[in-house]
A and B are shown apart, each in its own frame.
Chain A
């Protein structure tokens, strides 16, 4: 009878494996293994119609992450950005949200930047328990649907809309206002807030719609002209489209004042794009112009020396990323035990975060920002000049 030859071999290999394990553990004590990186998602439109705004946001997030990594990352863990391009398209936003949700190293997301993309992707983020902090999605519903993961640092359209209407009624005193929106969650949503507030003040309001793909506005502008409004309100998401519309209106001999929402407050696409014809136009803004905030000076200088002129949501994107990183740092004392759940908890506890936006940021129980103002700017001499500011109060629901 032969003895099992494998028996001895098994004992030896087991012993060897034990020694190896002990050795590994021993060296581990002397030199701790490098901590795995932690990831944050950056969801926004990096291609397509509004990619300029998206890419500036992404660059600002990169700056925030680079700075955080230079000061030790999150408890020694290096931060990596996972870029999630949604092209401002809701269906793509869901796909990239799924991708971020599947990557377990992702502990939070900056973005999505558009209301429509945020609305579409929210259920996915909620299911994954992944905190999102949007820099610019202003549609009121986003924080009203009970999603615990949703946070934003911008005031809502139902604060911006009534504030715009108040400004229009108090300052411009028009008889007739024509509202043109672009069917987007943002553009139409904001217009839906402006309209009732104007009507309540006795202003005659007419509405018309275009789509984001439209390039020829003469059909609708001909309609607008025939009703001779004192003010045309542009509920549009794309400043380049607004500039083109204003230029085409001039070609039709339409003379009217213009006003638009925060999405249009972009010098290079709106003011320069309209070649002087946007002069006198009003826009609301969901934040003070970053160039007027002393705390932001250093950020702007660094950003512009690296990436060139900054567009509208650069500062907000930087701030949102910094707040997310700050929350992650507070989430758990052991950096390896930072989870999506404790990041959400820490984010909710953000109190009076002082960054570069010029006001202390806290979140209410819905994830809305507290203490923000709505600002009105006017285009004067080729620049946005502040005219008025209102507290961002939301009507009770």
Chain B
């Protein structure tokens, strides 16, 4: 039998790297839920769009030879993905969700599913269904590996972790220290009251959508670099993971999204120690079901108060 104990440090590293990306995704999911009280099923597809935006910029760099400056290429990929997904998020909100606001709560949900299907199929048509390789090795040396307590931590993983932490710190500052952040929290608490206080909630919702989508876009670039390829199918599973992480942590809660993401990544990695690797997604969803039974409002969520 394989040495189970020897795998523990590496699986921790695997789990945290993946978890940090799930955390970014879950943050976007939670933010949108906060202001709109709707599940954005298209979130995973926005993530996929971000991954493709990164790939597109990288191919451009490759063709022009600018790839010789990896830092520039990486920054351009991140910025392109953030810009593209922020715009995409704004467009989705404007055309698919806003016209339905104030109506049935189910309508935007169905609309979100529709957007998700449209984005996935558009990506399939644009790429003829083929995986696009991302030459990560040209940007981050693949043999640069740090060994800590029996775990190999590649430079890619370190970069992912660093970027995630930095993004979360910035996000924290934006939400807690800026005027926009305050407006967002107010809208999230009670949109109607916020409107009375002179907050243009429509604008806030738009901006929140853009911010959440941009987080997904950034996560897409990181996953693209990590998996070394992108394809049109990555959105669905990413969306499911983001949803699970957000619910696990308590949907609407920021700390919850981060903790939920990390726990999910770790559950996926450690699951393979006790079960065949093929069941790793089953383990993830078992965690979700358990959470829903034991703590329906998630780890950091508050029990829902019924509104008058």
Per-residue 0/1 for B117-139: is the Cβ within 8 Å of any A Cβ (1 yes, 0 no)?
A: 00000001000111101011100
Cα separation A47 to B152 with both chains bound (whole Å): 37
Mark contacts of A174-215 with chain B using CB atoms, 8 A cut-off: 1 yes-contact digit, 0 otherwise: 000000000100000000000000000000001011110111
A51 touches B142 (CB 8 A): no
Interface centre among B18, B137, B157 (most CB of A within 10 A): B137
List the one stretch of A149-157, A219-227, A294-302 in contact with chain B: A219-227
Evaluate contact between B11 and A222: CB separation under 8 angstroms. yes
Does B50 sit at the interface, judged by CB under 8 A?
no
Q: Residues of B contacting A227 with CB < 8 Å?
A: 2-3
- Inter-chain residue pair count (beta carbon < 8 A): 113
The residue among B129, B143, B147 with the most chain A CB atoms within 10 A of its own CB is B129
| B272 close to chain A: CB less than 8 A | yes
Interface contact A216-B18, CB-CB below 8 Å: yes
Interface size of A by Cβ–Cβ distance < 8 Å?
A: 39
Q: How far is the CB of B61 from chain A (nearest CB, A)?
A: 16
Q: Is the CB of A208 within 8 A of B276?
A: yes
Stretch at the interface among A60-68, A89-97, A136-144, A240-248: A240-248
B111: A residues at CB distance < 8 A = none
| Contact assessment for B129 and A223 in the assembled complex, using a CB-CB cutoff below 8 Å | no
- B128 contacts which of A52, A222, A225 (Cβ < 8 Å)? A52
**CA–CA, A183 and B135, complex, Å:** 28
Tell whether B196 is near chain A: CB-to-CB under 8 Å: no
A222–B14 contact, CB under 8 A? yes
Query: Which of A119-127, A269-277, A354-362, A375-383 is near enough to bind chain B?
Result: A269-277
Q: Mind listing 24 A-B residue pairs with CB under 8 Å?
A: A49-B131, A51-B130, A55-B128, A183-B278, A214-B280, A216-B226, A216-B227, A216-B268, A219-B14, A219-B269, A219-B277, A219-B280, A220-B272, A227-B2, A227-B3, A240-B131, A244-B131, A244-B227, A244-B228, A251-B154, A252-B154, A269-B131, A275-B133, A275-B135
**A215-B223, A219-B280, A223-B277 given. 9 additional CB < 8 A pairs?**
A49-B129, A215-B234, A218-B10, A219-B277, A226-B3, A240-B131, A240-B229, A251-B154, A275-B228
* A residues with CB within 8 A of B: 47-49, 51-52, 55, 183, 206, 208-211, 213-216, 218-220, 222-223, 225-227, 240, 243-244, 247-248, 250-253, 269, 272-273, 275-277
